[in-house]
A and B are shown apart, each in its own frame.
Chain A
Amino acid sequence: MPKKYHIDVQPVANRFPVIGRSGIIDWGEGCLKCAKCVKTECVYGVYKNRSFSTSIMSDTIDEFCKSCFRCVQGCPKRLIHKTINPEWEALGDKLYRPEIISITWEQAATGKIPVSGAGYGGKFSGSGFDSMWTDMSEIVRPTRDGIHGREYISTVVDLGRRLSKLEFDSNGNLLSHVPPSVRIPLPIVFDVFPFGDLSLNVWSAVTSAASKLGTLVFMPYEVAINFPEQSTSIVPLLSAEKAAIYDLGGFKIIELVDGYESGESIAVAKKRYPDVLVSVRMEAKSSPESIRRMLEYNSLKADIIHYVADEGGYEPGVDQGLHIKDVIKEINVGLLKEGLRDQVTVIVSGGIAMAEHVTKAMLCGANLVGVDIPLLIALECRVCRNCRDGLSCPVSISGINPNWGTQRIINLIGAWHNQLLEMMGAMGIREARRLRGERGRVMFMEDLENDTFAQLFSDRIS
C-alpha cells in the first residue's frame, strides 16, 4: 500500500514580534497597591511572564494576553484597559484582512490547523469566496474521523492533457500516444509573487519547500536557472522567443505568457522537448474573447491553462470585474459545453488567501490552485507593499535564512492541507480530483438568497 502523504510540520518561531489584535493599557496613576493585585491572579500568567524585548523594543505581554477581561474588571480603580491595536487594524488590504494575516502567521509558526472555541464570530458572508459555503452530506459519507481518521483521503492531482479514449490494435497494443503528465500530492502550487522583498534566499526557501512537499513553484526563467538540482520542482516562466531557443532540459513543465506568438510556440516547445508540459499563463477574464483564446490554446494542445486574477482575486484591469470564483465557473462551463473539459488542466491563481479558497476554487471548476502572497505572509510579510514603492521591508524578508523560510512555508501548507482534508471529509469526497467543478457540494449565497429571502421579500412594497 502506498505511503500516506504526510507533511512534517515543526514549530518555527517568528523573527519579529507578532502584531497582535489587542493590547493592554495599564495606568499607573491612582493605583491603590492592593495587597492582592488582580495582576497576580491572571490565569495565563501574562503579567508574570511578560518581558521587554530590546531587539524589537516591545513588551511581550500583548502576545500572551487572551482577552479574558478579568483584570480589567477586577482592578478596583479601573486602571487596566484593553484596546484594539491600531497597527493591527492597519495591516493588509481588502482581501488580506488583519484576521487573515494573523491566522496565516500562526499557521506558519505552528503548522497547526486553527481551532478555537465558541461559534464563528465573523460576518455572515462577504464578497468573493466569502459568499460560498461548502456542503456536508448528512447521511451518505465515507467512514471518517476528521483529520485524525484512518480513512484515506487523497489530495493528489494530475497536470497534463488527457485523452478521452484509448485506441488499441488487434493485438491489444496501445496505439494512442499518451500525453505526458505530472502528478503532485496536493492541489496547491506556488505561483510568482506579485511583489515582495525578494532575494535568492527567498527563492531558495520557496523552492526547497516546493521540493520537499512534492509540488511545483512557478518563477521567472532567470531565477529558475539558479536552482539546477531542483529543476523538476520548478516551472520557469518564458516569453515565446525564449521558449524557442533556451535550454529547457531538466524542467517537467514550462509556462508561456499569453501573447501574440504563444500559440505557435506551444508546438515549437513540444517539438524540442516532447515530454515537457506546456502551460499558458492568461489573465483570468470571463470575456467571450478570453474564452475563445482559451479554447484556441486547447486546440493547440496546451497542457495547462493558468488563469491569474489580480491580487485581490478579481478580473485584472476590468472595472467592477468578476471575482475569480465566477470567472472559473464561466471557464469551466465554457469547456464543458464544448465537451473538452477533461482535455486540459486549469490552474487558478490570484486571490487565494486562505485554505478554504483552495477547496472553493476547485469546486467552482479549477483542477488546482496557485498560491502566492500567503507564502510571503508565512515569511512574516505584512502586505504593506513598501517593497513595491521602493521602500525597505519592515521584516527584511530578503535576509531570511532559507531553512527557516522553508519550514515556515511547509508549516503553512501543512495546516492548509489538513483544512482541505477537513472540508473534503465533511463533503464526503475522498479524491481531490473529484472536487473539480462539483457544484452540487457548494452553496452560493446568491442562490440561497434567491430561494429564500428573495421569495419572501422581493415583491414587497416597502
Chain B
Amino acid sequence: MDYRNIWNEIPKPKVERTPSRFGRALGKYTVRVLDSCTDCLKCVAICPQNVFEAKGNRLAPPLDQLCLGPECAKKPNRCVRNCPVDAIRVGANPSSRALGDFRWTPDLLMSVWHMAETGKLPANDLEYRIGASDGGFDKLRLRFPKNPPIPDLDKSKIDTSIPLNKKGDGRFDIVIPIPVYGGGMSFGSISQITMLSRIRAFAAWGSFTCTGEGGYPEALYPFDNHIITQVATGLFGVREETIQRVKIVEFKYAQGAKPGLGGHLLGPKVTEAVARIRETVPGSSLFSPFPFHSVYSVEDHKKHIDWIKAINPNALVSVKVSTPSDVDMVAVGSYYAGAHIVHLDGSYGGTGAAPDVAKKNIAMPIEYAIPKVHNFLVNEGVRDSITLIASGGIRTAFDIVKAIALGADGVVTGTAELVALECVRCHNCESGRGCARGIATTDLELVGLMELGWGTQRIINMLSCWRDQLREILYRLGLRSIRELVGKTEVLAHLDYSQSIPDDDIRSSLV
C-alpha cells in the first residue's frame, strides 16, 4: 500500500465528487421514500439527476440535494408517477427557511454546497448568483450582449490570471491563475485542518492563503510558497523567520467586520495549542490592540513597510485596510509607502467574533469602496502600478465579476471556503467550544469531524466551478482575459437605475 502523506502534498486541481460529511446533505427539496418501497430500482434508471442510487440490490437513501423539485417530479416520465407502489414524495425542504441569513441565503448556501460536492453549478432552481440583502452586489446584474461578441473564442484559453506585482521593482513577479486568494483566518479561530484545507486547495490552483493573525503553525511549512504571513496588531507569531519564509507579507491594519477593533478570540477558544503558538495563557480572552501602536502617521506606515522589505528582500507587501470614508487617501498613502497590494476589506466581511454593532454599522460596504479607490488611483495616475484587492462579503463567482468590474484587480474570500466546508452560518463561531460543525474551532473532539483530504477537495471543487463560471462570463462578454474586465462598469446594471434587465443566468453549459 502506498502511503501518501497529504499533509505535505499539494494536490492537483481536479474535481472529485465529495459528498457531505454529515449524514444526508441539505437540499432545497426533500425526497422521501416511504416504507412501502419494494426496491424495484425503477427510479434509479429514471431520475435525470441520479438522486436515486442502488446499494447492492436495495435502494439507498435518496440524494435529495440533487433533486430538481416537484416541477420535474410531477412529470409523467419521472419518479413520482412511475413508482409502482407510489412510494416517492417530493416537496420543499421545510428546514431550509431556518438556514442562513440575508447575505447567505439558504439557496446560496446550498449552491456552494453543491459546487463543493460536484464542482458544478446546481441544475435545479437554486439561486446561485445573489443573496437577499437588497443592496450592493445583490442589486447589481451582469449585462451580457445578446450574442457572444467573439463566438469562436476558446473558453479553455480565456485567461483568468492576475499579476500581484505591478510595481516592476524586481521583487517576486507573482501571477496567480485565478483572481482569488484566501483571506486571513487565524489558527485559533479555525482549526489546523480547516487552515490546511484552504491552503492546499488554493495552492492546488496556484494561488495563496493568508495565515491570519494567530501565528504560523509548523504544519504550514510544506506550503510556504503559497502562504501569506499576516502581520497584525497582536503580532502573534511575527518573527523574522516567518516573514522570510514566504513570498507575500500582509499588514493587517484593520478588518472590515470590526474596524477600529483588533482581533477577538474569546477565552474558551484559547485552547492549549492556541495559547502555545500565541505565547499566551489558555482560557484567557485575546483582544488585539488597535491600531498598530507603532503606526500613527503615513510616514510610520512607510517605515513599517520598509521594515518588512528589509527583512525579506523579495517578498511582496500587501496592506489590508477597512473602508472608512477616507479609504481612497489610505490607499494612495499605501501606494506611496511602497505597498504592492492594497487590500480593501469591506464592512460586511466575515469574522470569527465581533460586536454586532460594529459588523453592521462601522465603515462602508465594499461595493462603494472599490470604485471610490479605483477612480482615485486612476486620477492620481498610479492605478497601473498597484494591485487592488477587494474582500468583505464576496460569496460567488458573480460577486467576483462585479467586484472586478467595479475596479478591483482581484478578490479575497473567506466565508465562501467555510461554506464549502459545510458552514451553515449559525453565527456561533465565537462562543464556547466554537463551531459545532468542526470548522471554526480548535476543540479536539470537534476538529475530528473533518478530514483534511475531504476539506481540501471540497474547496478545490468550488474554486474549479468558480473558474468555469468566470470563463463562461468572460466568454459571453467577449473578453479574452479577466484583466480586461477591471473597471469595466459597462458590463454591470443596477436594479435601482434600470427598468428591465435580462436574466444573467449562465447555467446552460455549466451543470
Residues of A within 8 A of B (CB): 22, 25, 30, 38, 43-44, 66-70, 72-76, 78, 81-84, 103, 113-125, 132-141, 143-146, 148, 354-356, 359-360, 419, 422-423, 425-428, 440, 443, 448, 451-458, 460, 462
Contacts and interface: CB of A to CB of B under 8 A. Distances in A.
B482 to A, nearest CB: 20
B360 A83 contact: no
B138 A124 contact: yes
A118 B427 contact: yes
Given A122-B360, A135-B363, A422-B358, 6 more contacts: A73-B22, A83-B95, A121-B104, A121-B427, A456-B492, A460-B497
Contact of B350 (A118, A428, A448, A455): A118
Nearest to B32: A78
14 contacts: A66-B426, A69-B95, A117-B430, A119-B257, A121-B100, A121-B427, A124-B138, A124-B365, A136-B322, A138-B326, A141-B291, A456-B489, A456-B494, A462-B501
Interface stretch (B7-15, B43-51, B296-304): B296-304
A124 B136 contact: yes
Nearest to B349: A119
Interface in B285-339: 287, 289-291, 293, 295-298, 301, 321-322, 324-327, 330, 333
B257 A120 contact: yes
A87 to B, nearest CB: 14
Interface in B90-113: 94-95, 97-104
B369 to A, nearest CB: 9
The listed residue with most A CB atoms (<10 A of its CB), out of B100, B295, B358, B368, is: B358
Given A115-B355, A138-B253, A141-B291, A452 B360 contact: no
B177 interface: no
Contacts of A354: 357
A135 B358 contact: no
Nearest to B415: A119
Contacts of A139: 291, 295-298, 301, 330, 333
A62 to B, nearest CB: 11
B497 A73 contact: no
B262 interface: yes
Interface string B253-264: 110010111101
B119 interface: no
Interface stretch (B78-86, B158-166, B242-250, B431-439): B431-439
Interface residues of B, number: 104
B187 to A, nearest CB: 16
Contacts of B429: 116-118
Contacts of B5: none
Contacts of A119: 103, 257, 348-351, 359, 392-393, 415
Nearest to A117: B429
Given A116-B354, A117-B352, A457-B497, A425 B359 contact: no
Contacts of A82: 95, 98-99
A123 B133 CA distance: 4
A121 B101 contact: yes
Contact of A145 (B139, B287, B494): B287
A132 B325 CA distance: 12
Contacts of B174: none
B260 A136 contact: yes
Highest count of chain B CB atoms <10 Å: which of A132, A354, A443, A451: A443
A361 to B, nearest CB: 13
Contacts of A455: 371
Contacts of A78: 24, 30, 32
A133 B35 CA distance: 55
A116 B434 CA distance: 11
A134 B361 CA distance: 6
Nearest to A355: B357
Nearest to A440: B325
A115 B354 contact: yes
Given A78-B30, A83-B94, A116-B356, A123 B295 contact: no
A149 B361 CA distance: 21
A451 B370 CA distance: 12
B153 interface: no
A420 B66 CA distance: 47
B169 interface: no
A114 B357 contact: yes
A72 B26 contact: yes
Contact of A419 (B261, B355, B427): B355
Given A138-B322, A139-B297, A462 B497 contact: yes
Given A67-B424, A138-B330, A83 B290 contact: no
A460 B498 contact: yes
Contacts of A115: 264, 266, 353-356, 430
Contacts of B261: 146, 422, 425-426
A54 to B, nearest CB: 27
B336 to A, nearest CB: 14
